[in-house]
Structure 1
């Protein structure tokens, strides 16, 4: 038996707190491409043939909610491969008490030379959520929180709380608004958007949009994109914010304005409406981004879905940041939390 679980028990016995939960957890580091839009969250996983922690191959696997099979960048995988994940142990004050590795045995791993290692978060039985659910006897669901430089993935939990930053910390429940997930026949996680607006609303729309962890900016169908742009331009005009004769990220973001960061916070939220009547309000700092190398130019971070470039829009990582996104694969439902005020913990 590995000495780490024994050491963990000894450490916990010395801590002035009781164990609150043990959460199968994967941490990730964000890497943003030069185009400002392509983003990769590299999750830390360990690949091994035996549960010997000091001999595990500690690798980075790119999070991908479209992928259905874990893949490893190598010519061959060890026989009887085991994938190591971390277990985050927290106490009754929200403090992280310990973290140790556990191994999910004998999951299918596809080995490919000169390709990126992929942490498959898709909905199929071969992807990580289903594999971990079966191996550890957990509910078939997972959640993640995204930040601009990092992310965390949590598997199998059904209830969440968060701790405030005040001392002593206070627990606050995390409430999720539910949106039906479209999974049948689709590799992507899709939801149905029925409206959008800033000051006025465009309603009567029914557009399927993908929840993405690989694209930073939200992509909208042409009619919706045009409506959002017109609404934003009207508000910028009312606030006497002048348009800048420039673009960002090699022209990818073409609608830029001369403003300070304090001006950004004064803009209204963009609100997306979904089939469950849930209204997802996006504050201005999640749809206006600074032009690199400047301090007083901000650009509207929406993209228009090009003709012939697929049939659906995308909700990017920028607008998911600082929320908990919970994928309940048993009920085919996506839970979206309000902006988090503290660490996400399971009671």
Structure 2
């Protein structure tokens, strides 16, 4: 087994060298960068990041994976195959070397870095084998973020490639996630991707888990993840991992970090996600109380900000008062307050999330009002119920055209509020390679 693994790593290293342009004479880079796409062809809006994977022909090909900042590990459509040369890998498929049920990663993922169990999850057993391999594979449970259904996947040794950046342009060099150690991901069949957006083949974990992608990008990059979600499906947003700087056109000489305010990132029980403290919500100088010691979660899967019922009722009441000049209409699910509006949209008061030390995350009209139809626009906040686990879950509609920097080394979140007010957007990164 050990000899096979050594052979596997040597072969993959040679394959990678064919694609790597990184040498001692390579241009300087501060981050890796990848485009983000908004998908509207699933049950809810979702966002994917484009990475490069090696296919059966040893060629780098684009792979779109859902961005999940809560997932414990990466999983995508691939095949576990113990042939280290992958000579029998089916055409147009991605093959990865399996993790044996006897290896520590198998027990580690199952016990410490697993998805939260739900009734649809099957028991994880060591009964699965591959023909002629002689070892048991390592089935692990994965949860579909669209349907919530659970299915089994096979843990593997994987590799992902991203493009380097100096913060202004995409580079010409490749950066591989396996410089230090090969990532452990999981292979799923096509059936596990039911209800996924078209051309999306899995989930990329960007959580604090030891099996999420950031842990494999640390050397020589700084442990900082930056996300900038686009507001429509025809434009590309941008993901950075590294030190910055970050530049968005047309402000070619303005580092986006100059727009950021910072607040501490918090830990919550056994979660791998990201949390902050919100002290109150202010609408036109009136404060809606947020009880002490409640949690505010950040989510790249929930489409709209969810408020526990007691907070939600306060927000709806206050927002209704400050917009009483607008004609309300019958609410459209899942929203509770909707207005008669044309496609030109509405202008409504800001909603300020007041954070520790007096910092505020301002949610302006473009992130608070969702145009549902040509005639109806709704307040994009949802009632999460009276017993929701988290008092507030900030969803992706409120992320759009906001720049978020997760400094995982110093446990801080940098946030810009709407970039549109700065005359730029998340679609304005220059992905043209700097030659």
- Which bracket does the TM-score occupy, shorter chain normalised? 0.7 to 0.9
* 1:45 counterpart = 2:59: no
Asked whether the 8 Å contact 2:352–2:363 carries over to 1, the reply is: yes
* 1:142 counterpart = 2:219: no
What displacement does 1:338 show?
A: 4.0
Asked whether the 8 Å contact 2:345–2:371 carries over to 1, the reply is: no
Count of paired positions: 316
In structure 2, stretches of 5+ residues that fail to align are 1-16, 81-94, 98-155, 194-201, 431-435
Q: How far, CA to CA, are the matches of 2:273 and 2:22 in structure 1? A: 41
Q: How far, CA to CA, are the matches of 2:272 and 2:246 in structure 1? A: 30
Match of 1:130 in 2: 215
What displacement does 1:273 show?
A: 0.9
From 80, 83, 98, the equivalent of 2:159 is 83
Asked whether the 8 Å contact 2:32–2:162 carries over to 1, the reply is: yes
Match of 2:192 in 1: 115
What displacement does 1:161 show?
A: 4.3
Task: Give the match's secondary structure for 1:178.
Answer: strand
Q: How far, CA to CA, are the matches of 2:225 and 2:237 in structure 1? A: 13
From 252, 268, 271, the equivalent of 2:352 is 271
Match of 1:101 in 2: 174
Structure 1 residues 163 and 45, CA gap change in structure 2 (3 angstroms): closer
Structure 1 residues 190 and 288, CA gap change in structure 2 (3 angstroms): same
Structure 1 residues 198 and 120, CA gap change in structure 2 (3 angstroms): same
Match of 1:259 in 2: 341
From 183, 190, 213, the equivalent of 2:267 is 183
Q: How far, CA to CA, are the matches of 1:230 and 1:254 in structure 2? A: 11
What displacement does 1:57 show?
A: 4.7
Asked whether the 8 Å contact 2:65–2:204 carries over to 1, the reply is: yes
Task: Give the match's secondary structure for 2:160.
Answer: strand
Match of 1:59 in 2: 63
Match of 1:31 in 2: 39
Task: Give the match's secondary structure for 1:205.
Answer: coil
Match of 2:376 in 1: 297
In structure 1, stretches of 5+ residues that fail to align are 13-18
Q: CA RMSD in A?
A: 3.0
- Give the 5 Å matches for 1:107-256: 107-113=183-189, 114-116=191-193, 117-133=202-218, 136-148=219-231, 149=233, 150-157=236-243, 159-163=244-248, 165=250, 169-172=252-255, 174-175=257-258, 176-183=260-267, 185-199=270-284, 200-203=286-289, 205-206=291-292, 207-237=294-324, 240-244=325-329, 246-248=330-332, 251-256=333-338
What displacement does 1:163 show?
A: 4.8
Asked whether the 8 Å contact 1:41–1:213 carries over to 2, the reply is: yes
* 1:339 counterpart = 2:418: yes
Q: Which has the larger radius of gyration?
A: 2
More strand by proportion, 1 or 2? 1
Match of 1:15 in 2: none
TM-score (norm 1): 0.80
Task: Give the match's secondary structure for 2:96.
Answer: coil
TM-score (norm 2): 0.65
Q: How far, CA to CA, are the matches of 1:3 and 1:156 in structure 2? A: 21
Q: How far, CA to CA, are the matches of 1:299 and 1:204 in structure 2? A: 23
Asked whether the 8 Å contact 2:281–2:290 carries over to 1, the reply is: no
Q: How far, CA to CA, are the matches of 2:242 and 2:203 in structure 1? A: 20
